[in-house]
Amino acid sequence: MFLYEEAPGVAVPKDSIYAEMGEDVAKQDLAGEIINYRLGDDGAVDVAAVRAGLQVVGANVGIVIAPRPLLKVLSKKQVKPLGLNDPEVPRTAIVLIWPKDKDGDAIQDFVGITKGRTAHSSRQEKPKRSAREKAQRRAKVAQPPSPRTASKRGRRR
């Protein structure tokens, strides 16, 4: 189940001109840079390779191109994650998958939560109430206020 897409980013050494400018980087600005890691054409990410590439970037050698949120999470003090303006770099799709034979109410509730549904949404299963609970609820709603509390309204002591 598709959730959203993550925009690509570029990790640069904190002392680089790109980091000092602090703006998104265009494809042509990166010409001639050593690329320690780059997203594949399918947008798949090798997190271990991104981590290793970021260590090299932290030593002021090259750049890493990966999903921007991942770069923000994995970057240390020596690395600055920035946005990347390059239409050729694929966006990374974030999806949920689970075995079909394990599908059930609990899985569907979790999927609903990840898509933003709340406990008051129609797809959440509502707890069943007994006839007695329903009758008590109706009686409580229909019950007029007691005369004692009604007569005290508006009076000051």
The pLDDT of residue 134 is above 90: no
**Tens-digit pLDDT profile for residues 4-34:** 888 999 999 999 999 999 899 999 999 999 9
What pLDDT band is residue 156 in, cutting at 50, 70 and 90? low
CATH number for region 8-94: 3.40.190.10
Start-end of CATH 3.40.190.10 domains in the chain: 8-94
Rounded distance, CA 113 to CA 10, Å? Answer: 31
**Which residue's structure tokens are 């050494």?**
13
The pLDDT of residue 123 is above 70: no
Pairing between β-strand 92-95 and β-strand 63-67 as defined by DSSP bridges: unpaired
pLDDT of residue 120: 63
Rounded distance, CA 64 to CA 10, Å? Answer: 6
pLDDT of residue 62: 94
Q: Residue 132: left if φ>0, alpha if ψ -120 to 50, beta else—which one?
A: alpha
pLDDT of residue 126: 58
Closest CA to 50 of 78, 74, 85: 74
**Tens-digit pLDDT profile for residues 35-85:** 999 988 887 899 999 999 999 999 999 999 999 999 999 998 999 999 999
Rounded distance, CA 94 to CA 114, Å? Answer: 11
